[in-house]
Structure 1
Amino acid sequence: MIIFRKFRPDSISCVFKYWGDWSHLDGLLCRIYDMVKITMGKTVLIVDDAKFMRMMIKNILVSNGFEVAGEAENTAEAVAKYKELSPSLVTMDVVMPGDNGIEAVKQIIAYDPDAKIIMCSALGQQGLLVEAIEAGAKEFVIKPFKPARVLEAVNKVLH
């Protein structure tokens, strides 16, 4: 029996109860360590003008061990929060009122060339996605989101 108790966002404590042979725990502990290593200390900034979409992305990420550092609904807010929070990852909507997400990508990459940004786009916006990747975005996901695809993109960008 393994019980996890989370004391801080950057640490996990494990309590083990001995039920006989410990040899089967070795593989399990390696898998748990790999999962914790991927998500531990990984913060995300979610940028989308639609609160519903921010909530959907947040639920996917939080339920998989990521910490949402902040949210923004436009380019100016996104750039300001990136500078303030220095997140590990940004999810960025392509189309937003005012400047689009591509402009935010350009500004964030100008500030931090190593920024990890995933673009979120509706079907039919492939031309904008190409422009976003050229501007410095690392990956993209198509709306409506499938949790597995979001996590695949996140893991790809963070490794």
Structure 2
Amino acid sequence: MANKILIVDDAAFMRMMIKDILTKNGYEVVAEAADGAQAIEKYREYRPDLVTMDITMPEVDGISALKEIKKIDPNAKVIMCSAMGQQAMVIDAIQAGAKDFIVKPFQADRVIEAIQKTLS
């Protein structure tokens, strides 16, 4: 059975890019969210095997959403996505429980490597 993944990013084209990479590699994207508040809701609803989470988003940012998801499910697997130059935020994310992070723009092999490592 394919692993179920929730994609969270405020930029629709980024969600489309990562969804494309994932579906081509046999993963099932069960839901998408455009901000952290939606991410928390969709996590509750779908209980995905893994979440890719943008850090910088309107409403609720990725790190706050990560912390909330970890409250719902302490075993949640979340990979953060960030643009270059957000090292401090990445460290915060890892401390909050993120399993890995991917730098934008996405490189397909790095995305798949991070997901395989996190799910194994």
| Alignment of structure 1 residues 1-159 onto 2, 5 Å | 40-159=1-120
Identity value in percent: 57
Shift of 1:98: 2.1
Distance across 2 between alignment mates of 1:143 and 1:104: 19
Distance across 2 between alignment mates of 1:64 and 1:41: 10
Distance across 2 between alignment mates of 1:81 and 1:99: 14
Shift of 1:41: 3.0
Shift of 1:50: 0.2
Q: Which runs of 5+ in 1 are unaligned?
A: 1-39
Shift of 1:99: 2.0
Higher strand share: 1
Distance across 2 between alignment mates of 1:86 and 1:146: 26
List per-residue Cα deviations over 1:2-38 (Å, max 9, x = no partner).
xxxxxxxxxxxxxxxxxxxxxxxxxxxxxxxxxxxxx
Distance across 2 between alignment mates of 1:145 and 1:71: 17
Alignment length (residue pairs) = 120
Provide the aligned C-alpha RMSD in A. Answer: 0.6
Instruction: Report the residue type matching 1:94 in the other structure.
Output: I
Distance across 2 between alignment mates of 1:151 and 1:65: 10
Runs of 4+, deviation exceeding 6 Å = none
Distance across 2 between alignment mates of 1:101 and 1:60: 21
**TM-score, normalised to structure 2's length?**
0.98
Distance across 1 between alignment mates of 2:71 and 2:9: 20
Q: Which has the larger radius of gyration?
A: 1
Q: State the secondary structure of the residue aligned to 1:118.
A: strand
Q: State the secondary structure of the residue aligned to 2:60.
A: coil
Distance across 2 between alignment mates of 1:48 and 1:144: 13
Q: State the secondary structure of the residue aligned to 1:91.
A: strand
Q: Which runs of 5+ in 2 are unaligned?
A: none
